[in-house]
Every structure is written in C-alpha cells, then in structure tokens.
A and B are shown apart, each in its own frame.
Chain A
Amino acid sequence: MANKETVELVEQKAALMRRHVIEMGYKAGGRGAHFGPALSSIEIVASLFFGTMNHDPEDPTMADRDRFVQSKGHACLALYSALGEAGYITQEQMDTFKGDGSFLAGHPTRNPQYGIEVSSGTLGNGFAVACGMAKAAKIKGEDHKVFCLVGDGECNEGVIWEAAMNAVKYGLDNLVAIIDRNFVQLAGTTKDIMDVDIEALWRAAGWDVLVLEDGNDATSLLDALEAMKASSNGKPHMIIANTTKGKGISFMEGSLNWHARPMNDEQYEQAVADLENAAG
C-alpha cells in the first residue's frame, strides 16, 4: 500500500499541476490547448513523477532513471506541469508554452536535458518507441523501467497493436503502460467513434492488464504502479485507468467540447474558482 505521505504529496502536486495546466493553456491565448486530455491524466503523471519513478531533476539523463514516454502527446500540459513541479523546467519556461521559439510545443519534442524522453504527437508512435526502449534496457541488462502514457482513443491506431504484440513476444515486463481512459476522443465519445472492449483486446494480445475504476485516485494509481513495477512475470503491464476528461474543471468534466480549444477570460476565472474551491 502506498504510504500516506506519498499519497498526500501526489495529491498536492496534482492540484498544483492542474493550476499550471490552466495557467499555461490560458496564457497560450488564441493558440488554445488540449485541456481535457491533460486534466484527465494529471493524477497518473503526478503519481509517476512524485511517487513511482526513480528520477532526478538534478541529473536528468542519469543512466538508471526510469523513463516516461507520453505517447498521447497532445496532453503535453500534464507532462510540462509535472516537469515544472519537479524542477526540470522553470516557471519562465512554462510561461513560453506554445509561444514563438519555445521548446514547449503543443506536442512534446525530445529534449532529455529537460526530462522529455520522446517526441510524440502522431498517435501510437510513442508507445511503440517505448517498447524499443524497454527492449534496449533488457539487452543492456539495465534495471530501470519504462512507463508510457497512452490515450484510449489512441488505441484506434494500428501501430499500437503492432507494438502490443511485439512487446509480448519479447516479454517486456519492464514496461508499464497506462491508458488514460477518459472515454472521449477528438470528435466524440470513444463509444461513438470506435466502440471496442479495449480491456479484452489488451488481454487477448497477452498483456498483464489491471483496470482502475478511479484513475484519478492517487492511492489506487500508486498501488497499481508499484505492483506493476515490481512484477517480472514475463508480460508487459497495462493499467487501464478510468478517468474523467477535463477532471477538476466544472464546465470541462466529461465534455465533448474541451478536447482542444482556447479559453476565454470568463472560463479562466471559473476554472481558477473551481480549483480554489477544490483546495478548500
């Protein structure tokens, strides 16, 4: 079981990260941001950076660091906010999000010095690259783990399944993938766009699958991640975390309208009020 201090730290960081998401996305003005898919994955990313992963912002490329690959690259604000809270990037750098000349684009660009392991944005590729990184660790006899955040809509991609089969073939039990199952993709609900039983598909592909009923709950996430990280059963691990798209912002939760768009002043004030109310 995750200890109380870690759970509290993750919850505290998750709250700060949500605020960063809103601030960065609002400052991007008319360029907008993928608010919904970043907010659904906040607890997942916070649990990894502030609970599960072995990493050091003072030594971002240390050889035995656990790797984090954000395959659902459009949710980059979840990653950038974690990098900011962990100390990989500064507040000034966060303020450049989506700005001209910034290294913090609307989808992550590989930049190991700042903790960004893999470029992503064209869906499916980050996951398949993460599988290669996990295989490399096995070849080199290294003990670190590779964590990869995948979208539920992203599972529509063919390369996901090419890589899923391959990960089983090579017994990549040093790979833990987490699906942020927020049930909404760009043009509609996952049920409307491609109604498949992804849990059954991942099991059929041969993965070690765990479903979390509340993927925005730090305790369950930390417990699941710890169990998967410790397991070397010869199978790659998949946590399907049921989350809420736009989690934490009243007018975004479960909405089909907040996949990606700009936020106006009124919406910004409401979002900040929601976060402040939640903080008590």
Chain B
Amino acid sequence: MNKAALDKLQDWSAAGHRTVQADTLMMLAAEHPEVVALSADLTPTARLVPFKDTYPDRFFDVGIAEQNLIDFSAGLALEGLRPFAVGLAAMVPMRPAEQMRAAIGYMKANVTVIGLEAGVRFGPLGNTHYAMDDIAVVRAIPNFTVIAPSDPLSTHKALYACMEHEGPVYMRLTGGPGYPVLYPDDFDFQIGKAIEYRSGSDVAFVACGSLVADAAAAAEILESKGISTRVVDMHTIKPLDTEMLDTVFAENRLVVTVEEHSPFGGLGGAVAEYKAGLAGAPKQVIASLGDKFQRLGDHKFLMKENGLTAPDLAALAEANL
C-alpha cells in the first residue's frame, strides 16, 4: 500500500470519507494518466478542488445534471479512460438509475460511481438527502459491483481495487468526521472477499459501511456477557462472498445483518436471498433503517431511532438468540 495513505490515516479518520476518496483519487491520478474525475456541481463538497486544480484537463464538472454525469462518464470509459464519477448517494444513483443501467451496466463501462454521504448522514437536511435505497437500485443492475467500505484505509484500498477491476462499480460511502479506524495497518482488500474482523461462534454480525465499527462494539458488549460473537466486514455487497457466508451459517446460531439502508434490497436482502436456497441455515435478523421515511434528526439521533447503535445491536442479537 501507498505509504502516503498510512501517513494520512489520522487525518482521514478525523475528516471522514469525502477527504479519503478525494485524496485517493489524487494518488490514483498521479499514477494512472487514464484516471479522470467528474462531479455534478459538487466539487468542494466532494473535496475535489485540489484534483481540479492539479489536473484541470482531467476533471469535469458537468453542472447539476446527474443523468449526464453518468452518460458522459460512460462515453469516456468506452474510449479507454477510467472515470470516477462522484456524487451524493442520495442523488446518484437514484436520479440517473436508468443511465446507470443503459450506459454503464449494459455496456460494462469501466466507470466507478462514488456515492457520498450514503444512508442518513445528512441528518438535518432531511429525507430528500438520504440514500436509503441506493444499494437496492444498483444491485439490480447486471454487471455492477457494489462496495460499501467500512473505514478510511478500506475506502482507500477499495478505490485502488476499482482501478484494477474490469467493469462498473458503485461505491457507497458512509463514515463522516471521526470515521472509525478498523484497519490501522496495511491489510488485504479484495473486491468480493469479505473480511472476518473478529471470530465468534454464537452470533455473527454481517455488516457493511461504517456500521461495521458499531457491530464490532456490539460484539464487545455481547462477549462481556459470555456470548461469542463474530463480526464480518461484508464490504462487497455484490458479488456477495458466499464462501464466508457458508462458514457463518455453519458455525453461528444467529446472523444479524447491519446496514444503513432500507431492509429491502440491501445487504440484509442479499444475504437472505442467498440463504433462501440453503437448508438448515440459522435465523437472520435485518438491522436497517426500516421501510420508512425518517423523522428529522442528526445522524446520532437517527442511528438511535433505528436501533443501529452498538447497545441496540447487542440487545437485538441477545433477544433473538
């Protein structure tokens, strides 16, 4: 791994995912002339001003036009460039879902679409700015890989993995300022290969995004009560690491999937779809944002409201064991 990334780790944790992805795109651009970045009037929000200033000929702001953001990126990719199209997870991919399907998925264009502030991170801005359905939308498009990294270095490494990956990727990012560090040193990150963050034989939390840290904290609570708890960082939601799930289903008595997303079509849905074909798999509980628009509140309030804090997750697991 790039040593500069390790040097930035504390800053990245303090600043959150927007800065991690922007700094990483700068590193990728320095190494790969075919890397270009795009935004739809979000350049400062996406922390891409340094990219724009450093690579003015490789940065495109298409205006407030998400459909064109996707189509234009596809055209660049078909001609051999490697576009990273950055938008808010609430607007991209839902607004240009059809462009994601027709121009990127169908043509297998090598575009990485980055959705910032996924889930309900925008708290007080309200429901139009929440992305509770983005995984579901993109998962249903063939050829797309869907990644939700859990911490600063995994976000960094996931973007490097996208560069080596052939085909479309949607990356949803969740960790804000105070992005918890789960991986303080270099580690192996492969698209489609989940990481067993801790082992355990009773409960298994299978989580994605920054909620992996909350699941890990919930595991500590359960362990203190003598409940052995595994935590799986399922950073790639599509394709799902079914090998890891087979191990979980064989060794754990309860599976709790954890995501900052609707209970439909996200990580919980993907695990349930796989489990549906297996005899004797353990019970699954889906911890999610629920099938509803949210009451107004900041992120912490909404996590509590939806039972996604560590004590809530521990209690949910205990109640279902």
For residue A132, which residues in chain B have a CB less than 8 angstroms away from its CB? 71-79
CB of A263 within 8 Å of the partner chain? no
Query: How far is it, in angstroms, between the C-alpha of A129 and the C-alpha of B98 when the chains are bound?
Result: 13
CB of A203 within 8 Å of the partner chain? no
Contact in complex: B63, A136 (CB < 8 Å): no
Cβ of B70 to closest chain A Cβ, rounded Å = 8
Contact stretch, chosen from B15-23, B99-107, B176-184: B99-107
On whether A136 and B68 interact (CB within 8 A), knowing A122-B98, A125-B99, A162-B63, the answer reads no
CB of A133 within 8 Å of the partner chain? yes
CB of A14 within 8 Å of the partner chain? no
B-contact 0/1 string along A154-193, CB 8 Å cutoff: 0000110011011001100000000000000000000000
Q: How large is the interface on B (under 10, 10 to 19, 20 to 34, 35 or more residues)?
A: 20 to 34
B65, B72, B80: most-surrounded residue (chain A CB, <10 A): B72
Checking A120, A133, A158, A162 against B79 with a beta-carbon cut-off of 8 angstroms, the contacting residue is: A133
B-contact 0/1 string along A133-159, CB 8 Å cutoff: 111110110000000000000000011
For residue B245, which residues in chain A have a CB less than 8 angstroms away from its CB? none
Q: How large is the interface on A (under 10, 10 to 19, 20 to 34, 35 or more residues)?
A: 20 to 34
A-contact 0/1 string along B236-267, CB 8 Å cutoff: 00000000000000000000000000000000
CB closest chain-B residue, reference A135:
B76
Query: How far is it, in angstroms, between the C-alpha of A140 and the C-alpha of B79 when the chains are bound?
Result: 9
Query: How far is it, in angstroms, between the C-alpha of A119 and the C-alpha of B74 when the chains are bound?
Result: 11
Contact in complex: B75, A133 (CB < 8 Å): yes
Cβ of A246 to closest chain B Cβ, rounded Å = 27
Cβ of A197 to closest chain B Cβ, rounded Å = 22
For residue A169, which residues in chain B have a CB less than 8 angstroms away from its CB? 63
Query: How far is it, in angstroms, between the C-alpha of A117 and the C-alpha of B77 when the chains are bound?
Result: 12
CB of A118 within 8 Å of the partner chain? yes
Contact in complex: A129, B65 (CB < 8 Å): no
CB of A130 within 8 Å of the partner chain? yes
CB of B205 within 8 Å of the partner chain? no
Cβ of A46 to closest chain B Cβ, rounded Å = 25
Checking A110, A131, A136, A158 against B67 with a beta-carbon cut-off of 8 angstroms, the contacting residue is: A158
CB of B60 within 8 Å of the partner chain? yes
Interface of A (DSSP majority class): helix
CB of B36 within 8 Å of the partner chain? yes
Contact in complex: B78, A137 (CB < 8 Å): no
Query: How far is it, in angstroms, between the C-alpha of A74 and the C-alpha of B196 when the chains are bound?
Result: 49
Contact in complex: B75, A136 (CB < 8 Å): yes
CB of A84 within 8 Å of the partner chain? no
Query: How far is it, in angstroms, between the C-alpha of A124 and the C-alpha of B63 when the chains are bound?
Result: 17
Cβ of A201 to closest chain B Cβ, rounded Å = 16
Contact in complex: A139, B67 (CB < 8 Å): no
Query: How far is it, in angstroms, between the C-alpha of A119 and the C-alpha of B71 when the chains are bound?
Result: 11
Checking B63, B72, B79, B81 against A128 with a beta-carbon cut-off of 8 angstroms, the contacting residue is: B72
Query: How far is it, in angstroms, between the C-alpha of A122 and the C-alpha of B58 when the chains are bound?
Result: 28
CB of B31 within 8 Å of the partner chain? no
Contact in complex: A125, B103 (CB < 8 Å): yes
Query: How far is it, in angstroms, between the C-alpha of A117 and the C-alpha of B107 when the chains are bound?
Result: 10
CB closest chain-A residue, reference B67:
A159
Contact in complex: B67, A162 (CB < 8 Å): yes
Contact in complex: B102, A136 (CB < 8 Å): no
Cβ of B189 to closest chain A Cβ, rounded Å = 29
CB of A60 within 8 Å of the partner chain? no
For residue A206, which residues in chain B have a CB less than 8 angstroms away from its CB? none
Query: How far is it, in angstroms, between the C-alpha of A243 and the C-alpha of B67 when the chains are bound?
Result: 29
Contact in complex: A159, B71 (CB < 8 Å): yes
Checking A110, A128, A134 against B68 with a beta-carbon cut-off of 8 angstroms, the contacting residue is: A128
Checking A117, A134, A140, A163 against B71 with a beta-carbon cut-off of 8 angstroms, the contacting residue is: A163
Cβ of B38 to closest chain A Cβ, rounded Å = 10
Contact in complex: B60, A133 (CB < 8 Å): no
CB of B164 within 8 Å of the partner chain? no
CB of B185 within 8 Å of the partner chain? no
CB of B62 within 8 Å of the partner chain? yes
Query: How far is it, in angstroms, between the C-alpha of A166 and the C-alpha of B64 when the chains are bound?
Result: 10
Cβ of B126 to closest chain A Cβ, rounded Å = 24
CB of B57 within 8 Å of the partner chain? yes
Contact in complex: A118, B79 (CB < 8 Å): no
Checking A109, A120, A130, A140 against B75 with a beta-carbon cut-off of 8 angstroms, the contacting residue is: A130
**Which B63-122 residues sit within 8 Å CB-CB of chain A?**
63, 65, 67-68, 71-81, 98-99, 102-103, 106-107
Contacts A121-B102, A139-B81, A163-B71 aside, 5 further interface pairs with beta carbons under 8 A come to: A119-B106, A122-B102, A124-B71, A128-B75, A166-B72
Q: Which 7 A-B pairs have the closest CB atoms?
A: A132-B75, A128-B71, A136-B79, A162-B65, A162-B68, A159-B67, A129-B75
Contact sample, A vs B, 9 pairs, CB 8 Å cutoff: A117-B78, A129-B74, A129-B75, A131-B72, A133-B75, A135-B72, A159-B99, A162-B63, A170-B60
Name A residues whose Cβ lies closer than 8 Å to a Cβ of B.
109-110, 117-122, 124-125, 128-137, 139-140, 158-159, 162-163, 165-166, 169-170
Name B residues whose Cβ lies closer than 8 Å to a Cβ of A.
36, 57-58, 60, 62-63, 65, 67-68, 71-81, 98-99, 102-103, 106-107
